[in-house]
Chain A
Amino acid sequence: MNNQTRTLGRKFMRFLRGELGLLLILLLLCVVFAYVSPYFMVERNLLNITRQVSIVLTVAMGMLCVILSGEIDLSVGSTAALCGVAAAWGMKTTGNIWLGIGLALGLGLLVGIINGTLVVYARIPSFIVTLATMGILRGVCMVWTNGKPISNLPESFSVLGAGYVLNIIPVATVVSLLLVAVFYVMLQRTKHGTYIKAIGANREAATLSAIHVDRYKVLVFVAAGLMCAIGGLITTSKLLSAQPTANVGLEMDVLSGVILGGASLSGGIGTVVGTLLGSLTIGVINNGLNLLNVSSYYQEIVKGIIIIFAVVIKRNKATQ
């Protein structure tokens, strides 16, 4: 009995230490923004934010797997752009939306396999592999499109990035939250998630525990590649145009969300809920500052300060 309650209490404490702290920060930010801007706490705007973060959130799910396994993927922005270009090219060439989508997903898969293989079998640090593929894939985008956007895509493709479910909830929001749910189950509730975390926390011990370390390492890059493909599709659909220069710097936005969500760059630590909250927090800050029309010079300053405060407050909440 007593044991039971202690366990529950401890569980709650652990939750507090991680996600609840961030949740409080997020709510606090929302309250502040709602106070200073009448346009913030509007259903429509809140849904808007979820659509704005949908790309980062989707890619962040893949990145979280990579980070949990102790690696990093800098190529996510280029991969997303390339997949977007491939989708647009496929749609324009074949006239079939689904072929375009399939091509994008296939390419994402391929990029993941290449990254993973170079990391695992050629034993090159993932930072270097993905730095190289980041450049290579961006170059391929540029060569493929000759540096110019591919436009005039079929209007019906815009559903993914710009459409609504029930006339109010953005499709992109629904898609990204579904993916979050899938990754939540995969990472917190299946052995695969446990294995990925184990590999990142202590690779040697994971090997000794009869885990297929190499296979899982490739797998996380494949997950990242696929999520990039979906992210690229959302971007392309939103603009109804594939930009070869799309998603430049996406890796930093995604990493920020993941790390703000409590993940550790050295692997083994991080949660889906944390990543969700981290990405939302950054989205809310961006949106709120834009609504307040804070000049771009000051936005960066204010954003930096908010992030530092958020982490400090979260930490202190945790140790209370």
Chain B
Amino acid sequence: MKSNIITSREVKRGYFRMEFEFAGEALPGQFIMLKVAEHNDPLLRRPMSIAGLDGGVMSVIFKVVGRGTALLAEKKAGDHIDVLGPFGSAFTPPKTDAVLLVAGGIGVAPLLFWAKRNPSRRAAAFIGGATENDILCSDEFSEAHVATENGSVGRKGLVTAPLIEHAAYKNKTGYILACGPTGMLKAIDQLAVKDGLRGELSLEERMGCGFGVCLGCVCDTTGGRKRMCVEGPVFKTGEVLWRT
């Protein structure tokens, strides 16, 4: 589907936020597949978490890491973008639990969407990144705890430090929703299992199609081999059999 881009701007160095028209529905945790150019080099679509959908306007937040995202960053208001989706599983925290949103870098995107859709729920966000430049959207959460590896903003260290100190974590009433680099997700998964908290993780993998047919995005889980783009990207804590 060709969508009209409404705005696109660099929110931090190398990070862009783009808004475009979108006529359908979507759930927090789901993603879309974007065609970054009309030609075939690069060929494949790029998966992006949905960072917001309101009044027919969808937003994504992305980091420029390679050619595809660089091409995406060149797009301007008024340009068109080819959007496919939404695809994948959504976050489904139990209705009454306090929610602990744990974001690593660009992983904040789907958590922001969840927070926007659930303004009345008790939720605390834990937002980590390498430096101040990698902390995105922390002011858009009602409660946000920031950690950077170099200490340039918030606490110095990993985002797991403020997380495990939070009351809802310590008393095990918190339900975790996490998205970020694989290493972070694995660490949170192991913590949650050890400490007896439940939660969900949104994983990342190279995707060929995004809708379950190329079988390029599988991961092994306690329930067998799953496709990250259909059965995921959101999996329950304790479910993923980590590769390394």
Are these two chains actual partners, yes or no?
no
**Chain B residues proximal to chain A, CB less than 8 Å:** none
**Chain A residues proximal to chain B, CB less than 8 Å:** none
